[in-house]
Structure 1
Amino acid sequence: MSQAIGTTAQDRRAHVAELDRAIIELVRQRTAICRELTERRLSKGGTSIELARENEVLGHYREALGPTGTSLALLLTELGRRGAVRPGGLPGASGGTQWVGNGSTKGRS
């Protein structure tokens, strides 16, 4: 019986890993779109941040996920402000360039 539980747990961990990969890809896509929108706003003389829109996003995440959802939304909006995340370049990941924003790159420090 413990073998069946181990297999189930292993399957569940594999599923979580798949979900994590999907979430990372979606975050990358979201970040790229946010940067594009910011660049368009700036090119038309607008501001780099739309506080009303960000507040709307924070509220949506808070309603859907509770108080921790607000923290997640804050992280996502920060990623959108900073620039695109390169594949393999999430904060805390080992190796290479992490962030690309405003045409510049930064290596790990």
Structure 2
Amino acid sequence: MQAPGGTTARGLFHAQGRPPGPESESARKETLMTTKTEVTTDELDALRSEINGLDDELIRIWQRRAAVSKRIGEIRMANGGTRLVLDRERAILEKYRTALGEDGVQIAMLVLRAGRGPL
């Protein structure tokens, strides 16, 4: 049986301090899966924790960006300008498209709407 990384299951057991023995193939598979699951569970918990932190940061940045954008709109309108500047919005859409692909356009539309409101 081939284990991840190209080593044989028997070699992996031996490397873990277990001498190669007559254990059944299913027992070796179960042990390998259990070991992999334990490692994966620890990693999964760490990654989920990181995602939670990133989500908190995204929300904070989203809210700050919306507030700054609204303030820019207020200043622009108070000085006789238009509610929005289409060239600026097009540039933002293109920036997101370039960085994130077509999904970036959808994200940019939501970001823009959060700052200026719906069209």
Alignment of 1:1-109 (within 5 A): 1=35, 2-82=37-117
Unaligned segments of structure 1, at least 5 residues: 83-109
Aligned residues: 82
- Over residues 74-99 of structure 1, what are the superposed CA-to-partner deviations in whole Å (9 max), with x where a residue is unaligned? 000000012xxxxxxxxxxxxxxxxx
Unaligned segments of structure 2, at least 5 residues: 1-34
| 1:60 partner amino acid | K
Q: Using structure 1 for the length normalisation, give the TM-score.
A: 0.73
- 2: CA distance, partners of 1:6 / 1:25: 29
- Over residues 47-76 of structure 1, what are the superposed CA-to-partner deviations in whole Å (9 max), with x where a residue is unaligned? 111110000000000000000001000000
3-state SS of 2:113 partner: helix
User: Identity, % of aligned pairs?
Assistant: 30
Q: CA deviation at 1:10?
A: 1.0
Runs of 4+ in 1 over 4 A off after TM superposition: none
Structure (1/2) with the larger strand percentage = 1
Structure (1/2) with the larger helix percentage = 2
| 2:56 partner amino acid | R
Q: Using structure 2 for the length normalisation, give the TM-score.
A: 0.67
- Over residues 26-53 of structure 1, what are the superposed CA-to-partner deviations in whole Å (9 max), with x where a residue is unaligned? 0111001000000000101111111100
Q: CA deviation at 1:3?
A: 1.5
